[in-house]
Amino acid sequence: MKHKIKTTLSRLFSNNWLITLTATLIGVFVALYMNKIVSSKKLENQKTIATKNILSEIKQNQESLEKNIKNQEVLLGTIQFIKTHMDSENRVISSVDSMNIFRKKYPKTFTVQDSVKLENGKYHYTGEMDMNFGVSYINLTNVAWETLKNSGLSSSYDFNCLMFLEKMNKVTMDILVKDKEFLELLGNYQENENYYDKVILKASQLIEYEKGLLNGYKSSPEQLKKCT
């Protein structure tokens, strides 16, 4: 009986169809395994490219934001100085100390041509005020982030990382709106005291928001390390 079973098994394993079937199955499993490796490798490459694009865009936004903040701070400081030291006749009235502090902090903004001493140690300064602060619409983009979301790759990223990027994007969009409102206010000059108050408030709020986003940009490289 044992001999018969052994003979049957021997014939079975010696059949070509079984050898072919076994080879085919092995080939299929190997192909599936290799396909999985290739797909995984392709996904990692795509994630690497997407992450690099996001970091590059953030870097460009950061540089644009730093430039705008610097220009806006000069504008804000100048308007605060004008509001405090300009009288109803549009004369710049200031102490020597206040004028020196202003000119040291914002050089080339006000070129003094002459000064006349008044009462209480103050002077009437005449000169040229450079009001060209280089303030313009902020050039912030979110193309890389929107592309990532629409590509389906976002499902392979860490959830906390996606939350961070989405928050950054929301703040970026909010700042673009606030920046537009601020520039519209600047363009609608009104000769009244409240105008300067409005400009100072808007500029202060915008700079505060921008500095918050700037801190987020600076922490992005470290945050994105946790994405994958």
Residue 28 forms part of a structural domain? no
pTM above 0.85, yes or no: no
Please give the pLDDT value at position 14. Answer: 54
Please give the pLDDT value at position 23. Answer: 52
| Angle ∠(22,7,14) on CA atoms, nearest 5 | 30
Quick: pLDDT tens for 132-144: 777 788 889 989 8
Quick: pLDDT tens for 101-114: 999 999 888 999 99
Q: Rounded to the nearest 10 degrees, what angle do helices 96-105 and 16-85 cross at?
A: 160
Residue with tokens 């003094």: 112
Residues in the chain: 228
HEC string of 105-116? HCCCCEEEEEEE
Please give the pLDDT value at position 48. Answer: 83
Report the half-sphere exposure of 74 (CA within 13 A, side-chain side). Answer: 19
Residue 59 forms part of a structural domain? yes
Residue 123 forms part of a structural domain? yes
Residue 158 forms part of a structural domain? yes
- How many Å apart are CA 211 and CA 206, to the nearest integer? 9
CA 62 to chain centre: 5
87 three-class SS? coil
Residue 10 forms part of a structural domain? no
What is the pLDDT of the chain when averaged over all its residues? Answer: 82
Residue 212 forms part of a structural domain? yes
Residue 15 forms part of a structural domain? no
Residue 80 forms part of a structural domain? yes
Helix residue ranges, H only, the chain = 2-14, 16-85, 96-105, 143-151, 159-187, 193-224
Q: Which domain holds residue 148?
A: 38-224
Structurally, the chain folds into a number of domains equal to 1
